[in-house]
Amino acid sequence: MKLTLSVIKADIGSIGGHVAPSQRLLDTVKAYIGKRASSLLLDHYISHTGDDIAILMTHTHGENDEAIHQLAWDAFRAGTDAAREEGLYGAGQDLLKTSFSGNVKGMGPAVAEMEIEERTSEPFLFFDADKSDPGAYNLPLYLAFTDVMNTPGLILSPNISSGYRFVIMDVSHTEGDRIIALNAPDELYDIAALHRDPERFVVESVWSRATGEQAAAVATSRLHNIAGKYTGKDDPVMLVRVQMNFPATGEILAPYAIGHFVGGGMRGSHQVPLMPVTLNTGISYFDGPPIVSCAGFCVHNGKLTEPVDGFAHPFLNTVRDHVADKAIEMRRQGFIGTAMLPMSELEYTGISEKLELLDKRFRVREAKPALAKS
């Protein structure tokens, strides 16, 4: 059957700072969706990662469906009312527009969707990251879908040895979706050249070259590009299909053992390693570290199984220790050089205002007259 997987997420308020939504806020969103689900959805799953609430939905209405997007938007509006009543911090933070206009893209919430032909068994992974931006998934996707060192299936399994097509978006282009499609492995170095700059070039989707099936969908919104000012980090969601014609679950998960540095953390303005965490984890050290969760499902006729936690395994404890060590080491460098993001990526305007004032005080020293040579 043709099935659409849609995940729409937003930060609509949290307790203790930008840490985690309250139970009442989560319950409000769950109740809102629960009441209206039967007429629109086949199934749904609601969770939080850090201060973001994600609504994962299965349905048959296709991508960018107005009714589906409106349902999520209205649930976040209802949640925002509850967040305001409780005095939560940043209530309604990611709802950047006052009225719904057909599609939540460009309105604040992050969206990842794919319409698929459901396989007899359809295992997929739902990733949710907080205190980071969509480029956070570039390296894990690059390694999982192109690199034999990470994904031995690329040489072992005839199902996946034809490689994958990457659709990459230039998120600095705000007038429309500026995208490029590149094939791995043929155009690997071109893909790599774009991946070098994950704040600008973001993998939007990955496709099987053998079958044409979609393997992955990533939310690519950049909040500060939408609002023109700091409104929080983008905190992207991603859906990845696994097994058979796609890399195995373990091949998709393996890159998260690196704890690669991503843009985010405190005030959305630092380079901090990404820590894989268990489902429904909050935020702590240095408004981070940036975290990513993974819920694995099988979906059958649109019905979801319960989630299995992709990062709860004891193996991940060592990874988390390693990531914490990397984070602490980078933090010793404070605000200097690579510890903080480049000027164009800073989520607050304080430094540019300061530099403008200081600029007026700079003077070019007058050159001393050269001594006459005799």
- Residue 266 binding target from Mg ion, ligand F6R, none, CB below 5 to 8 Å by type: ligand F6R
Instruction: Name, in order, each residue with C-beta under 8 angstroms of 12's C-beta and a sequence gap of 6 or more.
Output: 21, 25, 29, 53, 76, 79, 80, 83, 90, 91, 92, 93, 94, 95
Smallest gap from Cβ 264 to ligand F6R, in A, equals 6
Asked whether position 234 contacts Mg ion by CB under 5 A, the answer is no
131: left (phi over 0), alpha (psi -120 to 50) or beta: left
DSSP state of 134: G
Asked whether position 270 contacts Mg ion by CB under 5 A, the answer is no
Find the catalytic residue in 89, 170, 230, 285: 230
Find the catalytic residue in 233, 234, 235, 326: 233
Smallest gap from Cβ 131 to ligand F6R, in A, equals 5
- Residue 52 binding target from ligand F6R, Mg ion, none, CB below 5 to 8 Å by type: Mg ion
Tell the residue number behind the tokens 């201060």, with chain if given. Answer: 51
Residue 142 falls in the annotated catalytic set: no
Alpha carbon distance 133, 265 (integer Å): 10
Residue 163 vs 282, nearer CB to Mg ion: 282
Nearest to 7, CA basis, from 276, 216, 237: 237
Residue 204 vs 287, nearer CB to ligand F6R: 287
Asked whether position 235 contacts Mg ion by CB under 5 A, the answer is yes
User: 334: exposed, middle or buried (C-beta count within 10 Å: 0-12, 13-18, 19+)?
Assistant: exposed
Instruction: Name, in order, each residue with C-beta under 8 angstroms of 143's C-beta and a sequence gap of 6 or more.
Output: 149, 150, 151, 254, 255
Positions touching ligand F6R (CB under 6 A) are: 17-18, 131, 232-233, 266-268, 287
Smallest gap from Cβ 351 to Mg ion, in A, equals 21
Asked whether position 90 contacts Mg ion by CB under 5 A, the answer is yes
For residue 38, what are its two tokens? 């039967």
Residue 233 falls in the annotated catalytic set: yes
Smallest gap from Cβ 235 to Mg ion, in A, equals 4
Residue 233 vs 260, nearer CB to ligand F6R: 233
Smallest gap from Cβ 239 to Mg ion, in A, equals 18
3 state DSSP class of 300: strand
Among 9, 18, 69, 165, binds Mg ion (CB under 5 A): 18
* Cα 70 to the center of its chain, rounded Å: 21
Residue 16 vs 62, nearer CB to Mg ion: 16
**Total residues at interface with Mg ion (CB under 5 A):** 8
- Residue 267 binding target from Mg ion, ligand F6R, none, CB below 5 to 8 Å by type: ligand F6R
Asked whether position 133 contacts Mg ion by CB under 5 A, the answer is no
The helix or strand, by DSSP H or E, that contains position 164, with its residue range, turns out to be: strand 164-170
For residue 155, what are its two tokens? 């040489």
Instruction: Name, in order, each residue with C-beta under 8 angstroms of 79's C-beta and a sequence gap of 6 or more.
Output: 12, 13, 21, 25, 28, 29, 32, 53
Find the catalytic residue in 11, 94, 130, 287: 11
Residue 94 falls in the annotated catalytic set: no
Hey, which residues are catalytic here? 11, 230, 233
Q: Which residues bind Mg ion (CB under 5 A)?
A: 11, 18, 50-52, 90, 130, 235
